[in-house]
Structure 1
Amino acid sequence: MKEQTNIPTGKVERAGRFMTTGLKVGTNYIKHYTRKLMDPSTTKDALHQENAEDIYETLSNLKGSALKVAQMLSMDKGMLPKAYTERFAMSQYSAPPLSGPLVVNTFTKTLGKTPAQLYDQFDMKASNAASIGQVHRASKDGKPLAVKIQYPGVANSVKSDLRLVKPFAIRIVGMNEVDMDKYFDEIESKLLEETDYNLELHRSQELSAQCAHIPNLVFPVYYPELSSDRIITMDWLNGQHLKEFLLTNPSQEVRNKIGQAMWDFYQFQVHKLKKVHADPHPGNFLLRPDGTVGIFDFGCVKEIPEDFYVNYFLLTDKEVLKDEKRRREIYTNLEMIHPSDTEKEITFFSGLFQEMIRLLTHPFTVERFDFGNEDYFNEIYAYMDHLYNLKEVRESKVARGSRHSLYINRTYFGLYSMLSDLKADVVTGQARIQEMINASN
């Protein structure tokens, strides 16, 4: 993959790249409609493919928040056409890496020394490059290391990038700007945290230690003396990302073992720590043939307020949801229904939420769950399609759901998606969750 010798960091230059891409997309539409005139049976497949290529090329070169949003969209299989999700998914693993001189410049600016002065060996070629930074292999005192380097200008461009992406998101979701503000405020706060490598280093050490008792998890050791506000040095972990790992045709026993470890990891954080690794895409996990999982990258951590936690997980209690008055109270607390809603709207949306919650919380209500059950996920996708096509939903201009639900829902969606790909059969009941909590005491 060709290396980048520079990254646009100025607001005007970055905005210009977005505008140029917009013109390319407009040209793609003209080509599509020309093809349509010549052949009425032409589908939008080629259009989506061309747009996805052009948009991803721009985002991958801008990096930072722009590419991170693409990564988030790639995890939602129902939001965008397949061409986009497949192309944007590349941001989970690989994007054009920085050139050697830019890497050295980052070291001299933040640690006062070059990589050659800090490590016994340092590979100038990045092993992988994603949205916020890239990773290089190194070694020191016989230890293999992973060195994560943040791209230039990422922190300074968060606010301006989100302003450029916002209109696109509003058109997709169909809400007005005021209603979307609370979600964009949440995204902005999390992206700013992800660019603070000092904070990430602290969280990585803290959460790794707190989750160390969970079976079959492996965490790297972190090295503060070789880290800075734009560099993090940690142990190199061996393993494969999910897509590569599945190509090795692992046994069902190994799939289950990995799936259980990932389930336990997330439930312990949510229910005991009230803070969670909220970036569960495959690029942040390394899977191994012995059924262990290497976990790193605690840049995106969602702290869960107590009142939100209580109401959110009451939704997994079947007995509570049988009480209509109590159910409406929970929906109101979670901002799923609003004081301004008419009785007709409350009845309509409450019914939709009740069915959606029944589907999504099912793994919590049974002792164990087979995430390889394709019928279950087909039912979820079919219901989501049904919701999307309802006139009342499409024309609703009210944002339904607390800002805190954004990253918690994203966390569980990402977890479910990976467990589904693994086809893992996992113990999911409340007793297992309590067992993980008790083991830490």
Structure 2
Amino acid sequence: MKEQTNIPTGKVERASRFVTTGLKVGTNYIKHYTKKLLDPSLSKDQLHADNAEDIYDTLSDLKGSALKVAQMLSMDKGMLPKAYTDKFAMSQYSAPPLSGPLVVNTFVKTLGQSPFQLYDKFEMKAANAASIGQVHRAWKWDKPLAIKIQYPGVANSVKSDLRIVKPFAIRIVGMNEVDMDKYFDEIESKLLEETDYKLELRRSVELSALCTHIPNLVFPSYYPELSSERIITMDWLDGFHLKEFLLRNPSQEVRNKIGQALWDFYQFQVHTLKTVHADPHPGNFLMRDNGTVGIFDFGCVKEIPEDFYINYFLLVDKEVIKDEVRRRQIYTNLEMIHSSDTEKEITFFSELFQKMIDMLTLPFTLDSFDFGDESYFNDIYAYMDYVSNLKEVRDSKVARGSRHSLYVNRTYFGLYSILSDLKANIKTGYPANTPAFHQQ
């Protein structure tokens, strides 16, 4: 893969890249509709493929927040055309890496020495590269290490990048700008945290220690003395990213073990710690043939407020949901319906949300669940597509759903997606001793 010798860091230079890309996307639309005049049956598949290629090429060069948004969108299967999800998924661990001089410069600026002085051996070629940083392999103390290096200019460009990328997200997702504002504030706060490697190091150490009791999970040790605001040094974990792992044709038993470990990992964080690893894309997990899984990235962590947690998981309780008055109050607490809504709007959105909740929480209501059931996910995607095309939803003037729901929902969607790809059949069920049930 071709290396990058520089990353545009100035606001004007980065903005101009987006403008150029916007012109390309506009040209793609003109080409598409010109061809459609000659062939009315022409689908949008090629249009989506061309747009995805042009947008990804720009985002992968810019790195940082812009590419991170693409990564987030790639996890939401059913939200985007397949051309976008396939292309944007490359940002999880296959973005173009930085060149050697930029890597060395980062070490000298933040740790005062080159990587060749700090480690016994350092591989200049990146092992993988994603949206915020890239990973190199090194050796010290007779052990292999993983060195995570943040791209230059990432932290300083978060706010400006999100302002620029918002129109693209609105057009691709089909969401109103009023919906995006509240959620982009939440995204901005999380991206700023992700660029703080000292915070990530502390969270990595703390959360790893709290989760070591969960079977079949493997966490690296971290080395603060070889870390800085833009570098994190940790143990190298062997294993395979999801796509590579599945090509090895693992047995159903191994798939189930890994799926169960991930499910237990997230349930413990959500229900016990109220603090959760909120970036469950395949690039953050390394799967092994023995059914264990390595977890090494705590850059994106969502702390779940108690009142949101209680209301969110009360929606799992069928007895609570049967009470119309209480159900409406929970929807109001979660900002799914608003005091400004008419009775007709309340009824419409309540019915819409309830069906979606019933579908998405089905695994919680059963003792075990087969995530290899393709019909389950096909039904979810079909319903989401149906909802997104409803006139009442498109014309809604208010954002529906608390800002806290963005990363909690994203966490479960990401987890479900991985479990679906694994075709894991695992023990699920909702832990009945959690606070939500005691609020009845």
The reply to whether TM is greater than 0.5 is: yes
Corresponding residue for residue 315 of structure 2? 315
The equivalent of 1:218 in structure 2 is 218
* Amino acid of the structure 2 residue aligned with 1:408: V
Which ranges of 4 or more aligned residues in structure 1 deviate by more than 4 Å?
172-176, 431-434
What is the rounded CA distance, in whole Å, between the counterparts of 1:180 and 1:431 in structure 2?
A: 33
- What is the aligned partner in structure 2 of residue 133 from structure 1? 133
8 Å CA contact retained: 2:178, 2:398: no
The code of the aligned residue for 2:71 comes to Q
- Structure 2 residue runs without a partner (length 5+): 435-440
Distance 1:102 1:246, change over 3 A: same
Rounded Cα–Cα distance in structure 2 between residues aligned with 1:237 and 1:399: 41
- Structure 1 residue 169, shift from structure 2 partner: 2.6
**Paired letter, 2:5:** T
Counterpart for residue 143 of structure 2: 143
Matches within 5 A, 1:32-431: 32-172=32-172, 176-431=176-431
21-30 or 272-281, which deviates more: 21-30
Residue pair 2:137, 2:144 contacting (<8 A) in 1 also: yes
Match of 2:438 in 1: none
State the alpha-carbon separation in 2 of the partners of residues 209 and 399 from structure 1. 37
Report if the CA contact (8 A) 1:70-1:88 is conserved: yes
Q: Distance in 2 between matches of 1:368 and 1:87?
A: 33
3-state SS, counterpart of residue 185 of structure 2: helix
Corresponding letter in the other structure for 1:301 = V
* 1:235 positional shift: 0.2
Question: Which residue of structure 1 lines up, in the alignment, with residue 437 of structure 2?
Answer: none
RMSD (CA atoms): 1.3
Alpha-carbon separation, structure 2, partners of 1:241 and 1:167: 32
For the 8 Å contact 2:79–2:385, the answer to whether it is kept is no
Identity among equivalent positions (%) equals 83
Give the Cα separation in 2 of the matches to 1:62 and 1:325. Answer: 49
Give the superposition deviation at 1:143: 0.7
3-state secondary structure, aligned to 2:398: coil
Q: Look up the equivalent residue of 1:106 and give its one-letter code.
A: T
TM-superposition CA deviations, 1:372-401 (whole Å, max 9, x none): 111211111121122122221122121100
- Give the counterpart letter for 2:335 in structure 1: E
- In structure 2, distance between residues paired with 1:174 and 1:377: 21
> What displacement does 1:33 show?
2.5
Cα distance in 2 for partners of 1:166, 1:242 equals: 30
Q: Residue in 1 aligned with 2:11?
A: 11
Letter in 2 for 1:289: D
Aligned residues of 1:133 and 1:151 also touching (Cα < 8 A): yes
Whole-angstrom distance in 2 between the partners of 1:179 and 1:244: 36
Query: By how many angstroms is 1:173 displaced?
Result: 5.0
1:381/1:177 CA distance change after superposition, 3 Å? closer
Once the two structures are superposed, residues 1-37 of structure 1 have per-residue CA deviations (whole angstroms, 9 ceiling, x without a partner) of: 1100000000000000001111111222222233223
Shift of 1:178: 4.3
Counterpart CA distance in 1 for 2:354 and 2:79 is 21
Q: CA separation in 1, counterparts of 2:35 and 2:354?
A: 44
SS at match of 2:346: helix
Encode CA deviations 1:243-291: one digit per residue, 9 max, x unaligned. 1111111111101100000000000000000000000000000000000
Q: Measure, in 1, the Cα distance between the counterparts of 2:178 and 2:288.
A: 46
Amino acid at match of 1:259: G
SS of aligned partner of 2:294: strand
DSSP-derived class of the 1:430 partner: coil
Contact 1:74-1:84 within 8 A present in 2 as well: yes
Aligned-partner Cα distance in 2 for 1:289–1:110 = 38
For structure 1, which segment, 360-369 or 422-431, has the greater mean C-alpha deviation from structure 2 after superposition? 422-431
1:283 match: secondary structure: helix
Cα distance in structure 2, aligned partners of 1:173 and 1:87:
15
Q: Is the contact between residue 80 and residue 173 of structure 2 (CA under 8 Å) also seen in structure 1?
A: no
Q: CA deviation at 1:433?
A: 8.5
C-alpha separation in 1, matches of 2:353 and 2:38: 45
Separation in 2, partners of 1:124, 1:236: 15
Cα displacement string for residues 209-260 of structure 1 (whole angstroms, at most 9, x for unaligned residues): 0000000000000000000000000000000001111111111110110000
Post-superposition CA distance 1:15-64 (Å, at most 9, x none): 00001111111222222233223333322211111111111000000000
Could you tell me whether the CA contact under 8 Å between 1:9 and 1:153 is conserved in 2? yes
DSSP 3-state at the match of 1:225? helix
Q: Count residues with an aligned counterpart.
A: 434
Partner amino acid, structure 2, of 1:98? L
Residue type of the alignment partner of 1:331: Y
Aligned 8 A contact 1:268 1:433 in 2: no
> For residues 309 and 161 of structure 1, what CA distance do their matches in structure 2 show?
31
User: Is the contact made by 1:68 and 1:131 (CA closer than 8 Å) also made in structure 2?
Assistant: yes
Secondary structure of residue in 1 paired with 2:134: strand
Determine if contact 2:178/2:397 at 8 Å carries over to the other structure: no
